[in-house]
Structure 1
Amino acid sequence: MIRVLLADDEHLIRGAIATLLGLEPDIEVVAQVARGDLVAQAVRDHWPDVIVLDIEMPGMDGLTVAETLPGHAVLMLSSFGRPGYLRRALA
Protein backbone atom coordinates (compact mmCIF):
# COMPACT_ATOMS: atom_id res chain seq x y z
CA MET A 1 0.00 0.00 0.00
CA ILE A 2 1.35 3.43 -0.99
CA ARG A 3 0.49 6.04 1.64
CA VAL A 4 -0.02 9.56 0.23
CA LEU A 5 -0.24 12.97 1.88
CA LEU A 6 -1.90 15.71 -0.20
CA ALA A 7 -1.07 19.38 0.39
CA ASP A 8 -2.98 21.87 -1.75
CA ASP A 9 -4.83 25.01 -0.72
CA GLU A 10 -7.51 24.52 -3.39
CA HIS A 11 -10.16 22.33 -1.75
CA LEU A 12 -11.68 21.19 -5.07
CA ILE A 13 -8.31 20.21 -6.55
CA ARG A 14 -7.21 18.42 -3.37
CA GLY A 15 -10.54 16.61 -3.14
CA ALA A 16 -10.48 15.56 -6.79
CA ILE A 17 -6.95 14.17 -6.49
CA ALA A 18 -7.88 12.33 -3.30
CA THR A 19 -10.93 10.83 -4.98
CA LEU A 20 -8.97 9.69 -8.04
CA LEU A 21 -6.18 8.20 -5.94
CA GLY A 22 -8.80 6.48 -3.77
CA LEU A 23 -9.92 4.51 -6.82
CA GLU A 24 -6.55 2.77 -6.94
CA PRO A 25 -6.46 -0.40 -4.84
CA ASP A 26 -2.82 0.05 -3.79
CA ILE A 27 -2.96 3.78 -2.86
CA GLU A 28 -4.30 5.27 0.36
CA VAL A 29 -4.57 9.02 0.99
CA VAL A 30 -3.66 9.18 4.67
CA ALA A 31 -3.86 12.96 5.16
CA GLN A 32 -4.85 16.19 3.44
CA VAL A 33 -3.77 19.70 4.41
CA ALA A 34 -4.52 23.10 2.91
CA ARG A 35 -1.44 24.99 4.16
CA GLY A 36 2.25 24.41 3.67
CA ASP A 37 3.04 25.05 7.32
CA LEU A 38 0.87 22.05 8.29
CA VAL A 39 2.76 19.52 6.18
CA ALA A 40 5.57 18.71 8.61
CA GLN A 41 3.15 17.79 11.40
CA ALA A 42 1.04 15.70 9.01
CA VAL A 43 4.19 13.84 7.90
CA ARG A 44 5.05 13.09 11.55
CA ASP A 45 1.48 12.00 12.31
CA HIS A 46 0.84 9.84 9.23
CA TRP A 47 4.21 8.66 7.83
CA PRO A 48 3.29 8.92 4.13
CA ASP A 49 5.36 7.24 1.43
CA VAL A 50 4.71 10.09 -1.02
CA ILE A 51 3.98 13.76 -0.35
CA VAL A 52 2.09 15.63 -3.08
CA LEU A 53 2.73 19.38 -2.76
CA ASP A 54 1.20 22.34 -4.51
CA ILE A 55 3.84 24.98 -5.18
CA GLU A 56 1.77 27.97 -4.05
CA MET A 57 0.08 27.59 -0.66
CA PRO A 58 -0.47 29.85 2.33
CA GLY A 59 1.75 29.46 5.37
CA MET A 60 4.69 28.06 3.42
CA ASP A 61 5.06 27.42 -0.30
CA GLY A 62 5.53 23.86 -1.54
CA LEU A 63 9.11 24.47 -2.69
CA THR A 64 10.14 25.55 0.81
CA VAL A 65 8.23 22.65 2.34
CA ALA A 66 10.06 20.19 0.05
CA GLU A 67 13.40 21.60 1.20
CA THR A 68 12.47 20.73 4.80
CA LEU A 69 11.69 17.09 3.93
CA PRO A 70 14.97 15.50 2.83
CA GLY A 71 14.69 11.80 2.20
CA HIS A 72 10.96 11.91 1.45
CA ALA A 73 9.44 11.21 -1.95
CA VAL A 74 7.81 14.45 -3.14
CA LEU A 75 5.62 15.11 -6.16
CA MET A 76 5.17 18.80 -6.99
CA LEU A 77 1.98 20.18 -8.56
CA SER A 78 1.59 23.57 -10.16
CA SER A 79 -0.40 25.37 -12.79
CA PHE A 80 2.47 27.86 -13.14
CA GLY A 81 4.96 27.48 -15.99
CA ARG A 82 7.62 29.70 -14.48
CA PRO A 83 11.17 28.46 -15.25
CA GLY A 84 12.40 29.54 -11.79
CA TYR A 85 9.83 27.29 -10.11
CA LEU A 86 10.85 24.34 -12.26
CA ARG A 87 14.57 24.79 -11.57
CA ARG A 88 13.96 25.14 -7.83
CA ALA A 89 11.63 22.12 -7.75
CA LEU A 90 14.16 19.95 -9.55
CA ALA A 91 16.91 21.04 -7.17
Structure 2
Amino acid sequence: MKQEENDVLCVARVNKTQKEDQKRTVMQMKTVEESVVTALDGGANLEIFPYLPYILQDLWEIGTDPETVISIIGRHFQSPEQVTMLDLGCGK
Protein backbone atom coordinates (compact mmCIF):
# COMPACT_ATOMS: atom_id res chain seq x y z
CA MET A 1 0.00 0.00 0.00
CA LYS A 2 1.28 3.44 -0.88
CA GLN A 3 1.83 6.03 1.84
CA GLU A 4 -0.84 8.32 0.31
CA GLU A 5 -3.43 5.52 0.42
CA ASN A 6 -2.50 4.72 4.00
CA ASP A 7 -2.84 8.40 4.97
CA VAL A 8 -6.30 8.57 3.37
CA LEU A 9 -7.41 5.45 5.26
CA CYS A 10 -6.13 6.88 8.53
CA VAL A 11 -8.02 10.14 7.97
CA ALA A 12 -11.19 8.20 7.09
CA ARG A 13 -10.89 6.16 10.31
CA VAL A 14 -10.38 9.31 12.39
CA ASN A 15 -13.40 11.01 10.78
CA LYS A 16 -15.55 7.94 11.38
CA THR A 17 -14.46 7.79 15.02
CA GLN A 18 -15.15 11.51 15.50
CA LYS A 19 -18.65 11.12 14.05
CA GLU A 20 -19.33 8.15 16.33
CA ASP A 21 -18.12 10.17 19.33
CA GLN A 22 -20.39 13.08 18.36
CA LYS A 23 -23.38 10.76 18.11
CA ARG A 24 -22.61 9.31 21.55
CA THR A 25 -22.30 12.82 22.99
CA VAL A 26 -25.65 13.90 21.56
CA MET A 27 -27.34 10.76 22.86
CA GLN A 28 -25.89 11.31 26.35
CA MET A 29 -26.89 14.96 26.71
CA LYS A 30 -29.13 15.66 29.67
CA THR A 31 -31.82 18.25 30.15
CA VAL A 32 -31.14 21.17 32.47
CA GLU A 33 -33.45 19.59 35.03
CA GLU A 34 -31.54 16.29 34.90
CA SER A 35 -28.20 18.07 35.21
CA VAL A 36 -29.29 20.11 38.23
CA VAL A 37 -30.86 17.17 40.05
CA THR A 38 -27.84 14.98 39.29
CA ALA A 39 -25.52 17.63 40.75
CA LEU A 40 -27.58 17.97 43.91
CA ASP A 41 -29.00 14.50 44.46
CA GLY A 42 -27.09 12.14 42.22
CA GLY A 43 -30.01 12.15 39.78
CA ALA A 44 -31.95 9.61 41.76
CA ASN A 45 -35.24 11.48 41.72
CA LEU A 46 -36.16 14.06 39.06
CA GLU A 47 -39.42 14.75 40.88
CA ILE A 48 -37.58 17.02 43.35
CA PHE A 49 -36.73 19.60 40.66
CA PRO A 50 -39.85 21.78 41.13
CA TYR A 51 -39.17 21.88 44.89
CA LEU A 52 -35.53 22.97 44.67
CA PRO A 53 -36.24 26.70 45.13
CA TYR A 54 -37.99 25.89 48.41
CA ILE A 55 -35.34 23.39 49.50
CA LEU A 56 -32.50 25.84 48.79
CA GLN A 57 -34.18 29.08 49.88
CA ASP A 58 -32.27 29.45 53.15
CA LEU A 59 -28.84 28.64 51.74
CA TRP A 60 -26.60 31.58 50.96
CA GLU A 61 -23.87 29.39 49.54
CA ILE A 62 -23.53 25.91 48.16
CA GLY A 63 -20.17 24.18 48.25
CA THR A 64 -17.03 24.95 50.17
CA ASP A 65 -17.19 27.60 52.88
CA PRO A 66 -14.92 30.47 51.76
CA GLU A 67 -13.89 31.25 55.35
CA THR A 68 -12.65 27.68 55.79
CA VAL A 69 -10.54 27.94 52.65
CA ILE A 70 -9.07 31.27 53.79
CA SER A 71 -8.25 29.76 57.18
CA ILE A 72 -6.51 26.74 55.63
CA ILE A 73 -4.49 28.93 53.27
CA GLY A 74 -3.49 31.20 56.15
CA ARG A 75 -2.20 28.23 58.16
CA HIS A 76 -0.19 26.64 55.36
CA PHE A 77 1.31 29.54 53.42
CA GLN A 78 3.71 32.16 54.76
CA SER A 79 2.35 34.84 52.43
CA PRO A 80 -1.35 34.00 51.94
CA GLU A 81 -1.97 37.36 50.22
CA GLN A 82 0.21 36.13 47.34
CA VAL A 83 -1.76 32.91 46.83
CA THR A 84 -3.82 32.77 43.66
CA MET A 85 -6.76 30.43 43.64
CA LEU A 86 -9.25 29.29 41.01
CA ASP A 87 -12.62 27.87 41.96
CA LEU A 88 -13.82 25.82 39.01
CA GLY A 89 -17.28 25.42 40.43
CA CYS A 90 -17.13 21.68 39.94
CA GLY A 91 -19.06 21.02 43.11
CA LYS A 92 -22.61 22.04 43.62
TM range (shorter): under 0.3
Larger Rg: 2
Identify which of structures 1 and 2 has the higher relative contact order when contacts are C-alpha pairs closer than 8 Å and 6+ apart: 1
Q: Could you state the TM-score of these two structures normalised by the residue count of structure 2?
A: 0.22
Bigger share in helix? 2
Q: Which has the higher strand share?
A: 1
